Every structure is written in C-alpha cells, then in structure tokens.
A and B are shown apart, each in its own frame.
Chain A
Amino acid sequence: MNWLDIFLMAFQAIVRNKLRSFLTALGIIIGVGSVVVMVHLGQSATQSVTDEIASIGSNLLFVMPGTAQRGPGGVRSIARPFELDDAEAIEREVPGILVAPALTSNATVVFGNANETIAVIGTNNNYFIVRNHALAHGREFEDSELGAGSAVCIIGTTLVEEMYAGQQPLGTTLRVGRTACRVIGVLEKKGQSMGQDRDKTIVMPIKAVQRRLVGKLDVQTIYVSALVDGTTRTVQRDIESLLRQRRRVASAADDDFYVRDTQDIAEALASTTNTLTILLGAIAAVSLLVGGIGIMNIMLVSVTERIREIGIRLAIGARTRDVLMQFLVESVALSTLGGLIGLILGVAGTWLITTRMNMPFLLSPAVMLMGFSFAVVIGIVFGFFPARKAAHLNPVDALRHE
C-alpha cells in the first residue's frame, strides 16, 4: 500500500463527512489561529516598544528624583526635587554630554475659539537634540529668552492642525494658562506612540514654566545625552556620584534619585511584554490541546461507525498497520488541514489587529512553523489511540457488527 493511496483514502473519508470534518478541524483552526495571533501580537508589541524607545533618543539618560524601586502600585518614595543648579552642575562637571532640565505642567491653551488642555514642557534648546524632536519651522529659544523666562513657545503639529485650521502659527499669540505666549517655532511631526500623541505638546523656556505656570523652581527630570556612543555607563556613574555629593546622601544610604538609561527602560518593557507573550501563547496552546481532544473524540466515533468497513478491509487482506495508517493519516490530515487554515486566519488576524492598533506587522516564520507543527503532532498523538483501536479489531466480530 503506497502513501498516495493512503492519503487519497483519508481525503475521501474527510470529504465524505464535510460538516463533521470541518467541525473537528475547527478546534485545531481556533487553536493554531490563536497561538499565531497571540504570539505575533506579543512580538509586535515588544518591537513597537523597542522602536519607541529608540525614537525617544539614543544615548539618553533620565535623571529623576526618588528611588528606582517600584513597589506595588508603582508608588515611589517622595524625594527632594532637583533645581536648575543641579542641571548646571551636571553640565559643568561631567564631560561630553548635553543636558536638558525639564518641567512639565498641564495648562489650558486658548487660541481664538479653540481651547485644549495640553502638557507644556519647560526646558532649554538641548531638549530638541536630546529628545530627538527637531524644529520644522521658526527658531529655537534665544539665550535672553531662556534667561528671563520669556513667554515664547514652540508648538507641536497637532496643535497647528487642531487650533489653527490651516493658519500660519508663527508670530501669533497663544494663551497658555494665564500667560499670553508668542509662537516662535513649530516642531516636526513625530506621530503616535503607545496611544500618546507626541505632537500635542508645547515647549517653553523652563523658567517661564516654573514661574508662570507652576509657581515653583523645581526641575522634574534632567535629560542627559552622551555625545559619544558607548559612554552612557560612565556618564551615568559620574552623574550618580555628583548628585550624591550635591544632595548629601550618606555613603550607606541608597540614592534618593535615579538615573535611567533608555536601554534599561527598553529591557524592562521588553521583558514585561515577553512574559505576556508567553502567557497568552500558553493559553492559546491549551485551546489547541482541547482541539486535539476533539479530534480524538470524533475519530473514536468514526472508528465505531466504520467497524464493518474495517472488517471488510481486514477480510480482503489489510494488515494491522494498513488500517492503523489509514486512520492515523485521516486524523493527521484533519489536524494539518486545520493547522493550515488556522495559520492563514492567524496571519490575517494579526494583520488586522496590528494595522488597527498602529503596531508593526511582522511575521515570525518560527512562530508559524511551531504552531503548524504543533497541530500535526496533535493529530498524530490524538489520532493514535482511535487508529490502534481500529487496527486491532477482530475481523469476524467487525464483519458481524451492524
């Protein structure tokens, strides 16, 4: 008996019971489909997080007050905020870096009839380089404006679209909080990231935000960018020792601030999404297993229904292994077919979801191969018992079966 004949036989049996075969394969279709979708979405999420962080700026360090520990609920211990002096000291003492102190405050922004609440970032000109967000039109802040905390601002493209409706924003005056603020520049478009519109922003001199919006001389975050690749570790260490001195942290005590590298953040987020991917993949794999049990169930029914047929085959000279192969190939064909359809639906589903969610659509051959071969293996494993049952029937009893 050659393989082609065995396959044809299985194929005929599957076609003969179209609805039943489809329902049986459906378990595998859903199983493979969900494994493919889940794992691909997980990988996409990881990828988009990584891309995100690269776009924040390379060689970037975040210096923030507080401790790095994230307890339950993400609560951090409250520590003394930074001041502009700290940022200046870092710039003075640590070589080869750009420093941008920043303070963010939400403010109501009004232009004409339009008004919106927007995060206003107070900083200096280094911000545009350090955060990798350059100007499209207009000019940066002048030293005198930075020194005096003048009411000037550079705005993101979303604001231009939403509030100006096609008007030229340069030279106009926006009301930010209670301050009338002259627009001197427009930022380049950066697009959405992780559900956040990075173009819905206003940048002002930090002193302007401190005095006119917040009313305190705090600095929330100090962005530091190492000018030379590969020096972030050294820079990080230098900043840490400098700040410990300035903030008089006892040598035994933990830092009351933390310096985070974008790499660290990327790794932390990636490991979170990876864990999630594994979890979702495992749940999907369980559904694949359930699909396998469905195959076994239907194959057992099929064997019982076809006992007489098996008897005929045995009588005309089918050996144990011929019957075994016939039923095994049938179940493997069902699971393979299901796996194939599941794969196609899984890829389609991944595409649909990633495009809707603005995530990168990437396919991993390893994941697809794994999902598919898992389906084939399930067909073998769960088809074996029913096939064995069929193959070991006694010919006389099988022929007598009604």
Chain B
Amino acid sequence: MRGIYKIYGTGAAEVRALDGVDLTIRDGEFVAIMGPSGSGKSTCMNIIGCLDVPTAGEYLFRGVDVAGLDRDELALLRRHFMGFIFQSFNLLPRVTAVANVELPLIYDGVKRATRRARATEALRTVGLAGRESATPNQLSGGQQQRVAIARALVTEPPLLLADEPTGNLDTAMSDGIMVQLDRIRVERGITIIMVTHEPSVARYAERILHFVDGRLVKDGPPAAILP
C-alpha cells in the first residue's frame, strides 16, 4: 500500500480520511489498527478489504493492483481471499446459524451437502457444535460473533479482517473471542488485520498501527506502542 489517500467532499468541506498512508502487511501477520475516532482506521480497513476504493494511491494485494479491478472482480477477491468480522456481527436475522455460515459458499456455488458439512465443521471449530439451527436472536453476543467468525472462515481465506470484533462484547467474552482468533491464526497460518481501540484486545496482535488524523504515526510491536 503506497501513498493512499481517501478524500470525502471537495473544497472547504474536504475531509482527508486517509492522508498519504504507506503500509506493507506480510502473510501471516496479526496486525491491530488503533487510533481515536475519525483517525481513518476503519477507512483503511475498508480499503484493505476492497469494500471501498482509495481516492488516490496504489494498493497491491498479493501483487495485483486492485485499482485495475472492476466491481465484480473485487467481489470475487473478497469471496476467495478475505473473511470479514464486524462489530455488530452482521448476521442475517431470522436465518439459522448454519445457514448464515453457508452464505459465502452459496455464492461460491458449492454443492448443498458439501456446504452443510463445511458450515457445520466451521461452527464446530468456533465451539458452537449443536447450535446449528439457532437463529441469531437465540444466541448471546459472544456466540453471534463466533457464528460470524465461522462465516468468515468457512471459505478458508488467507486474510481475516475484523472491524472492532469485541466492540459489543464484555471483557470475558472478548478474551474468549481473541483467544479463539489467535488459535485459528496459528493453526491455519492466516493473516489477521483488526481494528480496535481497546489496548487489552490489541495486545493479542504482533504489530500495532496507530493512526491519527488519517496518518500512520506509530508502527511497531505492542510492547513498544502500548503504555
């Protein structure tokens, strides 16, 4: 990622959400993005996740310039290489846990039986075996987030993007989720990029990026950055 700018509005109303960010993230890293509200950390995350496109700058994902891809190619990139976890879980309401987890596989055209088996397996990985047919409103926040993790992992993507994954959870649940994420990362050798503002959560990462006013101001291991 080189010289990334994301600018909203024009002229006097211009807001520089990202103001020239240069960044390289290697395979297998566990990165936490921190910073105050409005510092551009979520914007940075959305651009990394190809949900949003930068106003200027160059973003190479595994050597491919993302700027040259169209809408559907970006969708395929997300489908095959990325898993998303959100602060508000973003599960489909009134749809069972296993159906929620199956969703990315449906878009990938995986056969019904295989799909069900893989989704069930993913739920088992996050410790939700037996809760397949529960709908989100029958699950606790921590369980919902684990369903979301299962959904993000079911396609076996090399990159997991988590936007405030513990923002809506209490401390005990947060720890549970983080331990699980870390374990999965080690087992599968995937990359995790996570936005958070909680130092206790950020400590699970190997590297912390600190954003202020759209600029990357600090970059280093937790010990060096967190007080």
Contact = CB atoms under 8 A, between A and B. Distances in A.
Interface stretch (A283-291, A313-321, A350-358): A313-321
A304 to B, nearest CB: 16
B80 interface: yes
A60 B80 CA distance: 81
Interface string B38-53: 0000000010010110
Contacts of A318: 75, 79, 107
Contacts of B84: 315-316
A309 interface: yes
A309 B83 CA distance: 16
A75 interface: no
13 contacts: A1-B106, A311-B90, A315-B51, A315-B78, A316-B151, A317-B79, A319-B76, A319-B107, A320-B72, A321-B72, A396-B46, A399-B86, A399-B90
A229 interface: no
Contacts of A1: 106-109
B92 interface: yes
Which interface residue of B49, B80, B84 has the most chain A CB atoms within 10 A? B84
A193 B95 CA distance: 61
B90 A320 contact: no
A316 B51 CA distance: 10
A399 B51 contact: yes
B104 interface: yes
Contact of B79 (A4, A311, A316, A321): A316
A303 to B, nearest CB: 15
B103 interface: yes
B71 A2 contact: no
Interface string A52-90: 000000000000000000000000000000000000000
B3 to A, nearest CB: 21
Contacts of A321: 72
B92 A396 contact: no
A319 B71 CA distance: 8
Contact of B90 (A2, A308, A322): A308
A317 B72 contact: no
A314 B106 contact: no
B107 A312 contact: no
Given A317-B79, A317-B80, A320-B72, A312 B90 contact: yes
Contacts of B95: 12
A16 B93 CA distance: 11
Nearest to A16: B94
Interface string B91-111: 110110000000110111100
Interface string A292-313: 0000000000000000110111
Interface in A141-182: none
Interface in A80-109: none
Given A16-B94, A309-B92, A312-B90, A317 B108 contact: yes
Interface residues of A, number: 25
Given A309-B92, A312-B92, A317 B109 contact: no
Interface string A364-402: 000000000000000000000000000000111001000
Interface in B105-134: 106-109, 112
B94 to A, nearest CB: 6
Given A311-B90, A319-B76, 10 more contacts: A308-B90, A317-B79, A317-B104, A318-B107, A319-B71, A395-B51, A396-B46, A396-B52, A399-B86, A399-B90
Contacts of B155: 317
A16 B106 CA distance: 20
A309 B84 CA distance: 14
Interface in A1-32: 1-2, 4-5, 9, 12, 16
Contact of A320 (B75, B78, B103): B75
B162 to A, nearest CB: 12
A314 B51 CA distance: 8
A1 B112 CA distance: 11
B75 A317 contact: yes
Nearest to A316: B104
Contact of B51 (A5, A308, A396): A396
Given A2-B109, A396-B52, A399-B90, A313 B72 contact: no
Nearest to B90: A312
Interface string B55-97: 0000000000000000110011011100110100011101100
Closest 10 CB pairs of A and B: A317-B79, A319-B72, A316-B104, A319-B75, A395-B51, A396-B52, A396-B51, A317-B78, A312-B90, A315-B84
A51 B186 CA distance: 86
A5 B102 CA distance: 11
Nearest to A402: B88
B75 to A, nearest CB: 4
Nearest to A392: B71
